[in-house]
Amino acid sequence: MLFYYLYIFEPILLEKAKGSWVWDVEGKKYLDCVSGTWSVNLGHNHPKIVQTIRDQSKKMIHRSMRFLTPITIEAAESVLKFVPNKYNNITFLNSGSEAVEFTINFAQKVTGKRKVLSLKDSYLGAYGLAKLSSYTSGKASELKIPYPTCETSDCNCLDEYNELIEHILKNYISELACFVLEPILVSGGIIRPCSNFIRELCSKLQEEGILIISNEVTTGYGRTGLKFGHEHHKIKPDIIAIGKAMGNGYPVSAIVTNSSLSSELSPAEMYYAQSHQLDPLGAAVAKLVVDVFEEEMIVQKSQEKIALFNQFLGTLEYPFIKEIRAQGMVYGLVLQSYKGLSSNNLILKIKDNLLQEGIIIGASIGKEILRLLPPLTITNNEIKILEEKISKVFNSI
């Protein structure tokens, strides 16, 4: 009946949502610990967002591409203020994949070069060059490099990795348009690349005019503990791609850069036409989400939740847990085989049992990880419920 491509759907039908919860058609509620598709950092159906969608859709949902609307200009100003460092150019698109693909095409046009550099475990998008540069593409046509993961600032990983940086500079400078960095590799396994390495690589590349793109589709809007993921590495990207949480469930994304780059292109080179870019409804949501983040101090307040999660995860001692990974509000439990169950079967069993208990978590078979990316607004009481359910299911294994 339905065409679906990737997922075998869960055996429940969801019909409504609020805050950290979703309800199925039978009225059973589930704590959504993956924030939809890692998108509702403010929780589902935030009342102010629902109101904004109502108000804006009464005024105007969509318009002809040749026209701007006041709300689009206001949203541009708000998002540019929200993004760290000074940028003065933004355009609104619809999905994360579209934003990342746009940044790569833009970098190619500005530099006149083609090749794209990325870290080998990054996920950058569902199609095009973003997909080719992701771990999900088996094709080795783009430059996907290894990287160190040291956690201390006085690491000496550069002794080893300088050679790689030199190799890239020596062999690819003339072809390389950009380095697309996913600052914390979320889908690729919840891995934080070494900041000393990232800083050194970015600075050497920028000296050579190669553009640094920060893919903040998942790491943006407080997900990794800071407002944006690249802040962990103390770098200043040339271009930033934003998505997911910027619309808190509504499909709006953006690319952010400076006019010093865009002014290098003629109007013909800049041309990009897609029916819903800069639509007023998406812009209204994007502006409201930024306002809520600022007014309700969402990132600051999430620090308490992060501490609670880390405290709880630190207490989990089960023979089937191989490793626990945590980056802000992104958590991963790497499992290993136990009592004759392979790690993947264990992941599915735990995911299914938790679903029965009213908890939705992420299960990545390829990476052998159970993943939690709850809304940043999850309450202390909801965290307690999650802890009880996790303990109950884990004890039953």
Ligand X SMILES: Cc1ncc(COP(=O)(O)O)c(C=O)c1O
Question: 83, 107, 119, 124: which one contacts ligand X (CB under 6 A)?
Answer: 124
Q: In the β-sheet with 362-364, what is the strand arrangement from edge to edge? A: 321-327, 330-335, 369-372, 362-364
Stated length of the chain: 397
**Residue 282 touches ligand X, criterion: CB under 6 A:** no
Question: 19, 36, 125, 282: which one contacts ligand X (CB under 6 A)?
Answer: 125
CB closer to ligand X, 244 vs 367: 244
Q: In the β-sheet with 359-360, what is the strand arrangement from edge to edge? A: 14-18, 21-24, 29-32, 359-360
Residue with tokens 């990476």: 367
Give least dist CB 305 to ligand X, A: 21
**Which range, of 96-104, 137-145, 191-199, 308-316, touches ligand X by CB under 6 A?**
96-104
**Residue 100 touches ligand X, criterion: CB under 6 A:** yes
Helices 298-315 and 280-295, axial angle in degrees (round to 10)? 70
Question: 21, 106, 123, 228: which one contacts ligand X (CB under 6 A)?
Answer: 123
What does the DSSP 8-state code read for residue 244?
G
**Residue 215 touches ligand X, criterion: CB under 6 A:** yes
Q: Tell which positions 36-95 bind ligand X, by CB under 6 A.
A: 95
Q: Please state, in angstroms and as integers, the Cα–Cα distance from residue 57 to each residue in 44, 51, 244, 279, following that order.
A: 19, 10, 20, 11
**Residue 239 touches ligand X, criterion: CB under 6 A:** no
Question: 96, 282, 374, 375: which one contacts ligand X (CB under 6 A)?
Answer: 96
**Residue 218 touches ligand X, criterion: CB under 6 A:** yes
Q: Are 191 and 81 in contact (CB under 8 A)?
A: no
CB atoms near residue 86 (< 10 Å): 9
**Which range, of 120-128, 145-153, 199-207, 352-360, touches ligand X by CB under 6 A?**
120-128
CB closer to ligand X, 134 vs 257: 134
Backbone angles phi, psi at 345, to 5 degrees: -65, -35
Size of the site for ligand X (CB under 6 A): 16
**Which range, of 77-85, 202-210, 213-221, 312-320, touches ligand X by CB under 6 A?**
213-221
Helices (H), 272-342: 280-295, 298-315
Q: Are 252 and 283 in contact (CB under 8 A)?
A: yes
CB closer to ligand X, 97 vs 327: 97
Contact residues toward ligand X (CB under 6 A) are 95-97, 100, 123-126, 182, 186-187, 215, 217-218, 243-244
